[in-house]
Chains A and B, each alone.
Chain A
Amino acid sequence: MSFEVIVFYLFAGLTLTSAFLVIVVRNPVHAALSLILCFFSSAGLWLLLEAEFLAIVLVLVYVGAVMVLFMFVVMMLDINLAEIRKGFLKYLALALVVVAPMILIIGTVASSSYFDMPRYSAAVKQVAGHNNTYEIGKELFTKYVWPFEIAAVILLVAIVAAIALTLRTTRQLKNPNVEQQLSVERDKRIRLVDMGAE
C-alpha cells in the first residue's frame, strides 16, 4: 500500500465518519463542528486529486467563513434536548413518508449509468510545477466568462436583497453617529475660565 493510498483512506474515513456524526450527534454545536471536520477532510481528498486551488478555497470559504457564521447562530440557540426528543415517535411516520422518496431518488441517481466508474478517466498526473490556479483562472475568464459573470450578478442581487430585507430604518436606532462624534471641536465642549487666586 503506497503512502498516497493510506492518506486517501485516512481522509475518506474521516469524511464519512464526520458526515455521519453531523446527523447523529444530539448537540447542534457538535454537529456543526463535525461538518467543519467533514469539509476539512474533503479538502484533503481534493488535494490528493491535485486540485489544490479548490481544496484551499473550500477551507477558506466554507470552513473559514460560512461555518463561522453557522457556529455563531448555533451557539446562540437555547438547546433543550428533552424538548427536542419529545415528539420523536409522533412525527416518525410522517418523517418516513418524506424520507422514503428522497432515498429512492438519491438511489436512482447514484446507481444510474452516469456515475459508472468507467465513464471517468483517472485524474491525469501533472508535473511538479503545474499551476492549477492559473489553469482554473484561464478557463473561468475565457471559456466560462458568461456563466461566471451571471453568477456574480446573482450573488450581488442576493447580497442587496439580504441587506434590504434586514435593514429597518424606521425603528429607532441607538447607533451613535460616528461622523457627528468625530466632528466635535474642542471649543464646543470646553470653556476655559480665568479665575483670580482666592
Chain B
Amino acid sequence: MTIKDYFFELTSWLPLELSLTLWTTVKIMAICVPLMLSVAYLTFAERKIIGYIQARVGPNRVGPRGWLQPIADALKLLCKEIVIPTGANKLLFLTAPILALAPSLAAWAVIPFDSTLVLSDINAGLLYVLALTSLGVYGIIVAGWASNSKYAFLGSMRSAAQIVSYEIAMGFALVGVLIAAGSLNLGAIIRAQDSELGMFGWFWAPLFPVFIIYFISGVAETNRAPFDVSEGESEIVAGFHVEYAGMAFALFFLAEYANMILVSALTAVLFLGGWLSPVEWIPDGIHWLLIKISFFLFLFLWFRATFPRYRYDQIMRLGWKIFLPITIVWIVVISAMVVWKVPPWFANSAI
C-alpha cells in the first residue's frame, strides 16, 4: 500500500474534496520543510566554505563542529523584537517579507524531482516559473518604500532596476531552452535531453552561451555577490532590509536563500538534465538532481568569496549590452539547428 492510499483511507470520513486538499497540503509540506532545512544548512555551508576559502575555520562552537549553528541563529532571530520605524507604513512594512518569500516557495510546485515526483505537472511549467520569479521583486520594492528610510529606498530602487533588466536576458535564455525542447513542461524538457549522447546530449552543450548567461542572470536575480548592490553594505548599509529585525528580517534571508536553491534547481533541470544520470552504471534519480543543485549552490558561494562587487553601471551594461544581444543571436542559432536537424543533438527533432 502506498502512502497515498494509506492517507486516503485515514481521511475517508472527510468529503473527497477536503481530503484531496489535505493531501496536496501534505505534498506541499514535503517540499517546503526540506527546503527550509536546506536553507538553514545552506547558510551554515556558506559560512564554512567561505571560511575555508579565506583560511579560517568558520562557525565551530554550537554543537559538534558547529552543526547546530543554524538552529541557534533561527532561535535568536525568533526571540528578537521586530522594530517598526515610526515613519514606516506599518501594513506594507509587515507584508513585504511575505511578498518576498511566497513566490520563491510557490515556484517549487512545478520542479520535477524525479520522472514521477512532481507536485504539479502543468503544461506551461516554464512560464509559471518565470512569472513567479518575476514577482519576488515586489517584496524588495515594497520593503524599501515602506521602511521610510533613504538607504532602504536606494537599495530597493537599485535592486528593482537590476532584477527587471536581468529578467529580460533570463526570459530570452529560456526561449532558447523551449525551442530546443519543444515544450514548456519541465518534465518534458528533461526527457528531451535524454539521448544516447549521455551528458553531452543535455542542453548545456547546444545552448552553451545561453546556459552561462542563464546562471549569471540567476545570480543577479537573487541579488547575490558580485551583483549584490541592493545590499551593498559599504555604501548603503544593508539596502532594502536595513530597517528590519528579528523574524521579519529572517524571512528576507529565507527568501534569498530559497531563491538561490530555486535558481540552481532550474539551471540543473533546464541545462543539466535534472534527474538524468551522466554515467551508465549509476541509475537516474533524485540523487542526481540534488548533486547538480549542490554544485550550483557551491558556485554561488564560490562567487561570493572570489569576486569583488560590480559597479552599478557595469551591471546594467552587462545585462543590456552583452547578455541580451548574445541570447537573441543564440535564439536564431538554435532555431536554425532545430529546423535543419543539425546532428548530433537535433538529428531526430520533431519539427
Distance from B7 Cβ to chain A, minimum over Cβ atoms (Å): 19
Is B164 located at the chain interface by the 8 A CB criterion? Answer: yes
Is A133 located at the chain interface by the 8 A CB criterion? Answer: yes
The answer to whether residues A178 and B317 also contact, given A59-B135, A133-B123 and a CB cut-off of 8 A, is yes
Stretch at the interface among A63-71, A89-97, A101-109: A63-71
Number of interface residues of B (CB under 8 A): 29
Contacts between the two chains (Cβ within 8 Å), count? 70
Residue in B124, B135, B138 whose CB lies within 8 Å of A133? B124
Contact in complex: A69, B164 (CB < 8 Å): yes
The answer to whether residues A64 and B123 also contact, given A33-B142, A176-B313 and a CB cut-off of 8 A, is no
Distance from A48 Cβ to chain B, minimum over Cβ atoms (Å): 14
Distance from A63 Cβ to chain B, minimum over Cβ atoms (Å): 6
When distances are taken between beta carbons in the complex, the residues of chain A under 8 Å from B167 are: 64-65
Q: Name which residue of chain B comes closest to A181, CB basis.
A: B314
Is B184 located at the chain interface by the 8 A CB criterion? Answer: yes
Is A17 located at the chain interface by the 8 A CB criterion? Answer: no
Interface residues of A in 17-54 (CB under 8 A from B): 29-30, 33, 36, 52-53
Contact in complex: B137, A29 (CB < 8 Å): no
Contact in complex: B138, A132 (CB < 8 Å): no
Contact in complex: B127, A133 (CB < 8 Å): yes
The answer to whether residues A68 and B131 also contact, given A131-B123, A175-B313, A178-B314 and a CB cut-off of 8 A, is no
Interface string of B176-204 (1 = CB under 8 A from A): 00000000100000000000000000000
Is B157 located at the chain interface by the 8 A CB criterion? Answer: yes
Distance from B120 Cβ to chain A, minimum over Cβ atoms (Å): 11
Contact in complex: A52, B131 (CB < 8 Å): no
Is A155 located at the chain interface by the 8 A CB criterion? Answer: no
Grouping DSSP codes into helix (H, G, I), strand (E, B) and loop, the B interface class, with mixed when no group exceeds half, is helix
Contact in complex: A65, B131 (CB < 8 Å): no
Interface string of A159-181 (1 = CB under 8 A from B): 00000000000000001101000
Contact in complex: A60, B130 (CB < 8 Å): yes
Contact in complex: A71, B128 (CB < 8 Å): no
Contact in complex: A3, B138 (CB < 8 Å): no
Distance from B198 Cβ to chain A, minimum over Cβ atoms (Å): 29
Q: Name which residue of chain B comes closest to A58, CB basis.
A: B131
Contact in complex: A56, B138 (CB < 8 Å): no
Distance from B332 Cβ to chain A, minimum over Cβ atoms (Å): 16
Interface string of A119-159 (1 = CB under 8 A from B): 00000000001111100000000000000000000000000
Interface string of B262-306 (1 = CB under 8 A from A): 000000000000000000000000000000000000000000000
Is A72 located at the chain interface by the 8 A CB criterion? Answer: yes
Q: Name which residue of chain B comes closest to A67, CB basis.
A: B138
Contact in complex: A56, B127 (CB < 8 Å): yes
When distances are taken between beta carbons in the complex, the residues of chain B under 8 Å from A36 are: 138
The answer to whether residues A133 and B184 also contact, given A60-B127, A64-B135, A178-B317 and a CB cut-off of 8 A, is yes
Contact in complex: B124, A56 (CB < 8 Å): yes
Is B220 located at the chain interface by the 8 A CB criterion? Answer: no
The answer to whether residues A56 and B164 also contact, given A132-B124, A175-B313 and a CB cut-off of 8 A, is no
Distance from A96 Cβ to chain B, minimum over Cβ atoms (Å): 33
Is A57 located at the chain interface by the 8 A CB criterion? Answer: yes
When distances are taken between beta carbons in the complex, the residues of chain A under 8 Å from B135 are: 59, 63-64
In the docked arrangement, what's the CA distance between A68 and B161, Å?
9
Is B258 located at the chain interface by the 8 A CB criterion? Answer: no
In the docked arrangement, what's the CA distance between A59 and B103, Å?
12
Interface string of B61-86 (1 = CB under 8 A from A): 00000000000000000000000000
Distance from A183 Cβ to chain B, minimum over Cβ atoms (Å): 14
When distances are taken between beta carbons in the complex, the residues of chain A under 8 Å from B5 are: none
In the docked arrangement, what's the CA distance between A180 and B138, Å?
36
In the docked arrangement, what's the CA distance between A63 and B127, Å?
14
Query: Given known contacts A75-B141, A133-B123, what 12 new A-B pairs fall within 8 Å (CB)?
Result: A29-B145, A52-B122, A56-B128, A59-B132, A60-B130, A60-B131, A64-B131, A65-B167, A69-B164, A72-B141, A132-B123, A178-B314
In the assembled complex, 6 residue pairs joining A and B whose CB atoms fall closer than 8 Å, in A order, are A52-B123, A60-B131, A63-B131, A63-B135, A133-B124, A178-B317
Interface residues of B (CB under 8 A from A): 17, 89, 92, 122-124, 127-128, 130-132, 134-135, 137-138, 141-142, 145, 153, 157, 160-161, 163-164, 167, 184, 313-314, 317
